[in-house]
């Protein structure tokens, strides 16, 4: 009876301790990876490496960040593909786990790898994988994109204060007054709501509209963009009639109108976030139904961030 009871406990433990993802041991890497060549996807820790070899396929990393003009707005971009998958990779297109008696420093992406590499374990696995790609467009104006959803409907693309066709989250000058949002007295602190952000923002004329969304900052009846009384360079911040009062666009005693001739060129910052998930890995003692490879931080030959200019 004792033997039967012990066997029952053993069987119960076998069926309750395994969650289906990790069979016996766990790989210990951080949540990022890199890429080099045509193509080697890799991640390392001081004594181990995990790689995906894609050499020989018609895939190149540029495919992941290929964009086109958005059909709803010519100022926006959209990804041509938000996912890229390969199933049942084998042979030269395989996952590989290695452990080393030497350091993993410099073993990838170098024309001349270290000459003291000592491999202690080497396992190859087939499996499937999927890249997931996200494009983030932003103006880097100090206001998080989620706080530029003024109507609170969850759609950032229908909030365009100045009506120039560039949504606020991509617009370095939200109100179109030729004073950059970063110069309009907005200070963001982590955790702020939109109401808190606006309550703490500069509102020179006290009309309840913060300067960064107010076309007439000082409330003198002349739009900020037209208060270029000294130099007509599409920058009202350097037009000062009375040095004691500051720029004319913040001085309601100066309301001379000098019509603007142009808007400032806008810069939009594009960031590509690429993650990789592998499925069905089997490295002997390391077995995964699903393995999160992490987020790509560096890839030879491509840039994960760039900027472009727009003319309102």
Per-residue pLDDT, averaged over 49-66, amounts to: 86
Question: Is residue 158 within 8 Å of 170, Cβ to Cβ?
Answer: no
Report if residue 207 sits inside a domain.
Answer: yes
Whether residue 35 lies inside any domain: the answer is yes
Range of weakest confidence among 47-61, 113-127, 222-236, 298-312: 47-61
Could you report the per-residue pLDDT of 22-36, keeping only the tens digit for each?
Answer: 444 688 999 999 998
Position 7 in a domain: no
- 111 shares its domain with 79: yes
**Are residue 189 and residue 257 in the same domain, yes or no?**
yes
Counting the structural domains of the chain, the total is 2
Q: Both 221 and 115 in a single domain?
A: no
Distance CA 308, CA 312 (A): 13
Average pLDDT of span 154-160: 98
Which pTM value belongs to this model? 0.86
Please write down the HEC assignment for all residues of 46-99. CCEEEEEECCCCCCCHHHHHCEEEECCEEEEEEECCCEEEEEEECCCCCEEEEE
Cβ atoms of 107 and 44 within 8 Å: the answer is yes
Same domain, 130 and 274: yes
Written as six digits, the tokens of 144 are 């998080």
The answer to whether 255 and 297 are in contact (CB under 8 A) is no
Same domain membership, residue 96 and residue 31: yes
Place of tokens 């206001």: 143
Same-domain check for residues 257 and 275 = no
Q: Is residue 12 part of a domain?
A: no
Cis peptide before 157 (omega within 30 of 0): no
Q: For residue 14, what pLDDT band results from cuts at 50, 70 and 90?
A: very low
Judgement on whether residues 195 and 96 belong to the same structural domain of the protein: no
Give the N- to C-terminal CA distance of the chain in Å, as an integer.
84
For residue 4, pLDDT over 60 is answered with no
Question: And the tokens for 56?
Answer: 């020989």
pLDDT tens readout for residues 240-256: 999 999 999 999 999 99
Residue 11 lies in a domain: no
113 and 208 inside one domain: no
- For 214, the domain range is 173-263
Assess if residue 67 is contained within a domain.
Answer: yes
């Amino acid at each position: 009876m004792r033997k039967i009871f012990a066997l029952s406990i053993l069987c119960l433990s076998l069926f309750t301790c395994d969650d289906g993802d990790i069979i016996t041991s766990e790989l210990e890497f951080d949540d990022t990876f890199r890429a080099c060549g045509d193509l080697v996807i890799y991640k390392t820790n001081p004594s181990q490496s995990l790689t995906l070899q894609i050499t020989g396929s018609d895939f190149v990393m540029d495919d992941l960040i290929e964009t086109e003009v958005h059909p709803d707005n010519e100022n926006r971009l959209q990804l041509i593909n938000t996912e890229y998958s390969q199933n049942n990779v084998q042979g030269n297109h395989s996952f590989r786990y290695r452990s080393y008696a030497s350091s993993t420093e410099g073993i990838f992406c170098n024309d001349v790898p270290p000459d003291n590499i000592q491999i202690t374990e080497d396992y190859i696995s087939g499996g499937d994988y999927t890249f997931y790609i996200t494009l983030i467009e932003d103006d880097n104006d100090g206001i998080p994109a989620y706080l530029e959803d003024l109507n609170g409907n969850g759609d950032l693309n229908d909030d365009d204060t100045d009506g120039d066709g560039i949504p606020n989250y991509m617009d370095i000058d939200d109100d179109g007054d030729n004073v950059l949002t970063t110069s309009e007295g907005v200070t963001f602190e982590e955790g702020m709501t939109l109401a808190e952000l606006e309550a703490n923002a500069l509102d020179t004329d006290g009309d309840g509209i913060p300067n960064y969304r107010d076309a007439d900052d000082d409330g003198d009846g002349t739009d900020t963009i037209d208060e270029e009384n000294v130099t007509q360079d599409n920058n009202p911040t350097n037009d000062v009639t009375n040095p004691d009062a500051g720029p004319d666009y913040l001085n309601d005693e100066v309301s001379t109108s000098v019509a603007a001739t142009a808007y400032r060129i806008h810069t939009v910052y594009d960031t590509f976030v690429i993650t990789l998930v592998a499925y069905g890995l089997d490295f002997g003692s390391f077995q995964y139904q699903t393995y999160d490879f992490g987020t790509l931080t560096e890839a030879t030959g491509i840039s994960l961030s760039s900027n472009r200019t727009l003319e309102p």
